[in-house]
Amino acid sequence: MALNGFLDIELSVKNPTELGDFWERHGLRRTADGVYGTDQRSAVITVKEGDHRHLSAMHFSTASEVDIVETARRLDALGVASRTTSTTLECNDPVLGHSIRIEVGAPIPLKAVDPRPANRPGDRNRFNQRNASLTPDRRPPRRLGHVVLASPDIEKSTAFYFDGLGFRITDQFVGANATFGRVETDHHNLLIHRSRVGYLNHYALEVDDIDAIGENGAAVVADNPDSHIIGVGRHLLGSNLYWYLRDPSGNMFEFFADMDHITNDEDWAKNHSRSDWGAPTAPAPVQAWGDGPNEAFLAVPDIEEIAQARARRGLP
């Protein structure tokens, strides 16, 4: 066994109060000083002050004490130091620099919600009532789903997450220029892609369905029209519906729903996983439909500030 849950992240930003207030307005609850969660998971995002915006910590769970020992052994073989107790492991990402904490346990299961009735050709489920999406109440984010990280040393980053921490590869771009990985059943809890400078590309929060994406995304745009980046659409890899926006600290984030889930690793690896996405025979997939990457999605306006801050810390 290896990791079994992606629990929460810590973001360091120049104005943590502004970002915390933003997420309180948009569906998360402050459960402790600087900690924001949901009604079922008390920690989703922790916000603290920093001299530039960056991912400063990630928190995972693993099934047993044996996994802690085995993970420490794999990290040691990669030359990555770790600090362990019988039930926890802490280390630092050797390329991007943020801290990693692993503890024995599992994510708190989410309560299922009744799907909104929908009318489809030959399958009518809503009679004599208006569409429930017209109700004024927004359905808030349910959990943290994944992060996307940009790495200036993709080989070392890939080895750390997959050979060291034990992520399972779901799909991979040709030349290992980008790798999707999972620790839960989601198609991906992590994507690492090659970049000149290391940075957090985006973090993603799962919501109930396409209406919840629209409700929450529209509320963010009403707050600040410039927050819109791309969406709404459906990805090809992962199949999830998406809307990408920017938070007040400059981080890109995603509201998503309806991602592929993988329960048979052997079948996925044999019949579905590919390592040649982006090759001439397998053009790089972005979306099945909807807006594709635009200038705002690909640009990182503060990349030089991030690069300088990382250089001060001795990071690439």
Q: Which is more confidently placed, 2 or 165?
A: 165
In a domain, residue 128? The reply is no
**From the CB of residue 242, how many other CB atoms can be counted at a distance below 10 Å?**
23
In a domain, residue 130? The reply is no
In a domain, residue 249? The reply is yes
In a domain, residue 118? The reply is no
* Region 83-109 average pLDDT: 97
pLDDT above 70 covers what percent of the chain?
Answer: 98
Identify the sign of the CA torsion 269, 270, 276, 277.
negative
User: At what angle are helices 210-223 and 16-25 packed, to 10 degrees?
Assistant: 130
Whether the per-residue pLDDT at 82 is higher than 80: the answer is yes
Report how far Cα 296 is from the mean position of its chain's Cα atoms: 19
CATH of the domain at 14: 3.10.180.10
Q: Give, as one character, the DSSP assignment of residue 96.
A: T
Whether the per-residue pLDDT at 292 is higher than 70: the answer is yes
Query: In total, how many domains does the chain have?
Result: 1
Record the pTM.
0.95
Q: What is the pLDDT of residues 207-264, one digit of tens each?
A: 999 999 999 999 999 999 999 999 899 999 999 999 999 999 999 999 999 999 999 9
Tokens of 300: 């990182």
Q: What is the pLDDT of residues 99-146, one digit of tens each?
A: 999 999 999 999 998 888 889 999 998 888 877 666 667 899 999 999
* Region 304-314 average pLDDT: 96
In a domain, residue 266? The reply is yes
Look at residue 140 and give its three-state secondary structure.
Answer: coil
The answer to whether the beta carbons of residues 80 and 93 sit under 8 Å apart is no
Residue 217: give the domain boundaries.
3-107+140-311
In a domain, residue 316? The reply is no
The answer to whether the beta carbons of residues 242 and 234 sit under 8 Å apart is yes
Q: What is the pLDDT of residues 27-63, one digit of tens each?
A: 999 999 999 999 999 999 999 999 999 999 999 999 9
The whole-number pLDDT of residue 129 equals 83
In a domain, residue 22? The reply is yes
| Mean residue pLDDT across the chain | 94
- Which of these, 60, 87, 268, 238, lies nearest to 164 by C-alpha position? 60
The whole-number pLDDT of residue 109 equals 95
